[in-house]
Amino acid sequence: MLFSEFALWCERIEQLSGRLEMIDLIAGVLPDLDEEDLPIFVRFIRGLIFPDWSPTNLGIGPNLLYDAVAYVGGKKRSDIVMLVNKTGDAGKAVELFLLREKTQQARLFPGEELTLAEVYVTFERMADTGGAKSQREKQRNIQLLFSNASPLDGRYLTRLMLEELRIGVGEGNVRDAIARAFGVNPPLVDRAHQVINDLGEVARLAKSDPGALEKVNIELFRPVKVMLAQAGTIQDMITGSREVAAEFKYDGSRFQFHRSDDRTIIYSRRLEDLTDALPDVAEKLNAVCSGDLILDGEVIAIKDGRPMPFQTVLRRIRRKHDVAGHVGEIEMIPLVFDILYKDGRSLIDLPLTERRLILEESVTGSVAPQIRSSDEEELLAFYHAALDEGHEGIMLKVPASPYIPGNRGKHWIKCKPEVETMDLAVIGGEWGEGRRARHFGSFLLACRDDQDHLLPVSRVATGINDETLGILYDLFKDRVISESGKEVTFEPGIIFEIGYSEIQKSPNYASGYALRFPRFVRIRDDKRMDEIESLSSIIGRYRLAGERNGDQSPPRKNT
Ligand code: ATP
């Protein structure tokens, strides 16, 4: 397939609003794609370049991309930034730029037309380049791509590289399209996706050997999405005298540990490779188990016997240099609460009780304590013990439940003191004043709608201390897409957890809602952009609060 055909499909999909139309359209394309193009198309259409399980990323910021595109057109980066400011969309800006330059320079596109596979191979090459010359090498590859790209190709190449394709194609749509295209049962596609964690590969199997879909299994060093929890109460979980398994809810960082006798990798919740940042954790885990295993757990930081705030763990994870020098500073403790794989056998379909027995046999320390009870008093006492020991609350799990990767269902319930927070994407900011003049002083936050568009919902300036201000400056300085006066637009990709007192309707933000008294809680670098708060969830929270207060607050002007 030519990349220009892919770009045309993206444009068509972008114009659709109905889910069924979208599934029909994608299902119509898939059978015509060959073995090589099919997985690439399936990933690209979701805005992904590499499989979901792969820790690989392209590592390209907007400025590098604009520099390379400007070079191709013989212009300056600022010419593109001006168009980004005008359109508010990096993809459209590059498209306009190429359109303009193309008419002025007949030889801007002298090469052959790009194919989908060539684009993918170039991306792979870029992701592989490391070392001192990597930025220059990446820039050269981007120039190569854009010198052979049409303006429309440019729109979608840009969005793909900046990880903001956002044409509204969600995971569920692609799953249903694969099922439809190859006549496979949707639950089978769903299950294969949970296990393989790459819809591209699922599509390839569905086309070449649908029987193989039933036999797919989880594998070492191909991480699966972690199972998630819903908020709930002890009472709900034990209705009908149901027994539950309860564990402390640790406030650190989720990990998935894969080990064989000659290799060990610690993955984060986002499935990045954290092994180099947590050598002490890997050592501790290796000391308590043997054989081939996949374990699920939470790593916490401990000082004087008490858990430290989760930021301590995050700070260590983010540390890129001199990890060894910081290993002894604060003790990192892994607490394992699940086992997904042992010696060639997948355990995810077994009930929790059986997995727990295998876990206790296989791991001789570092296992998170668990109680089983249907007694409210006992579970309440366990909850208070967790809080007294400095943990976040408790997790209640259904003993008969399988491990469903990526699932957030009723099998796992989290009970913790109620604090209203939501995770939002940072899309802009404002330079600070006075003492904060060299830092970004406030941040513009967005939720996502059903089409994955980012809609502003709040600004936050409170809750950020001087140390965090410096960290945030370092984090955002290379993400600036454009500036106008004190206002800055950021390349989306960083997520904040924000506390608030109330949600109100507001004409001031495109989402139609605003947060009252927003307060920065933390950076959520363990979450992906598709996990940020959705507009429908905000509307749900708003209605719920109205019901609780016995009224629907009238629209108020945002303060
Ligand atoms: P979510 O993970 O549900 O999106 P969140 O990231 O804000 O929300 P919480 O709501 O605080 O996290 O709770 C879920 C997280 O709790 C898990 O992802 C895991 O990292 C952590 N956790 C701590 N202890 C446990 C445990 N015993 N079992 C499962 N998860 C645990």
3-state secondary structure labels for all residues of 75-96: CCHHHHHHHHHHHCCHHHHHHH
Give residue 249 CA to ligand 1 midpoint distance, Å.
Answer: 7
Report CA(202)–ligand 1 centroid distance (Å). 28
pLDDT at 554: 33
Residue with tokens 């950021």: 490
Ligand 1 binding pocket (C-beta < 6 A) is 228-229, 247, 249-250, 254, 298, 337, 368, 395, 414
Closest CA to 166 of 541, 446, 488: 446
- Report the atom number in ligand 1 closest to the C-alpha of 227: 18
Going by alpha carbons, the residue nearest to atom 24 of ligand 1 is 249
Angle among Cα 20, 25, 26 to the nearest 5 degrees reads: 100
Evaluate the CA torsion angle 164, 169, 174, 177 in order and state its sign.
negative
Pairing verdict, β 293-303 and 244-249: unpaired
Q: How many residues does the chain have?
A: 559
DSSP 465: -
Phi-psi region of 131 (alpha: psi -120 to 50; beta: other; left: phi over 0): left
Closest CA to 159 of 62, 85, 72, 86: 62
Query: How far is the centre of ligand 1, averaged over its atoms, from the C-alpha of 274 (Å)?
Result: 18
CB-side exposure of 383: number of CA atoms within 13 Å? 17
- Ligand 1 atom with minimal separation from the 226 CA: 18
Ligand 1 atom closest to Cα of 392? 11
Distance CA 290, CA 294 (A): 11
Select which of 92, 138, 249, 342 is catalytic. 249
Angle between helices 62-72 and 151-161 (to 10 degrees): 160
Give the Cα separation of 453 and 470 in Å (integer): 29
Q: Whose CA is nearest to atom 20 of ligand 1?
A: 254
Quick one: tokens of 154? 């440019």
Q: Ligand 1: which atom is nearest the Cα of residue 249?
A: 24
Q: What is the mean pLDDT of each run of 10 residues along the chain (559 residues)?
A: 96 90 96 97 96 90 91 89 84 92 54 88 91 85 91 96 88 94 94 94 94 91 95 88 95 96 94 92 94 97 88 78 70 96 96 98 95 96 95 96 93 89 95 86 93 90 89 88 87 92 92 94 88 93 76 36
Report DSSP letters for 276-329, one per residue.
Answer: TT-HHHHHHHHHHB-SSEEEEEEEEEEETTEEPPHHHHHHHHH--S-HHHHHTT
Ligand 1 geometric centre to CA of 533 (Å)? 16
pLDDT of residue 559: 31
- Within 8 A by CB and 6+ apart from 86, the residues are 93
Residue 282 amino acid letter: A
Handedness of CA 236, 238, 244, 249 (dihedral sign): positive
Mode of pairing for the β-strands spanning 408-415 and 228-231: parallel
Residue 214 · residue 238 · CB < 8 Å: no
DSSP 31: G
Angstrom distance (rounded) from CA 423 to CA 552: 24
Q: What is the pLDDT of residue 103?
A: 53
348: nearest Cα among 451, 216, 542: 216
Alpha-carbon distance of 85 to 88, in angstroms, equals 5
Please name the residue that has the structure tokens 């708060």.
Answer: 533
230 C-alpha to ligand 1 centroid (Å):
9
Residue 230 Cα: closest atom of ligand 1: 3
Whether residue 391 contacts residue 236, with contact meaning beta carbons closer than 8 Å, is answered with no
The protein residue whose alpha carbon is closest to atom 19 in ligand 1 is 254
Residue 204 CA neighbour count, 13 Å, CB half: 16
The verdict on whether 92 is a catalytic residue reads no
- pTM for this model (two decimals): 0.82
Phi, psi of 440 (to 5 degrees): -80, 125
**ipTM score of complex:** 0.95
**Of 228, 255, 367, best ligand 1 pocket probe by most atoms within 8 Å of the beta carbon:** 228
Its sign, for the CA torsion 111, 113, 114, 118, is negative
Q: Measured on CA atoms in the order 533, 426, 193, 347, is the torsion positive or negative?
A: negative
Distance in Å, CA 228 to ligand 1 centroid: 7
Closest CA to 480 of 436, 519, 522, 431: 431
pLDDT at position 419 is 76
Joined tokens for residue 483:
């500036």
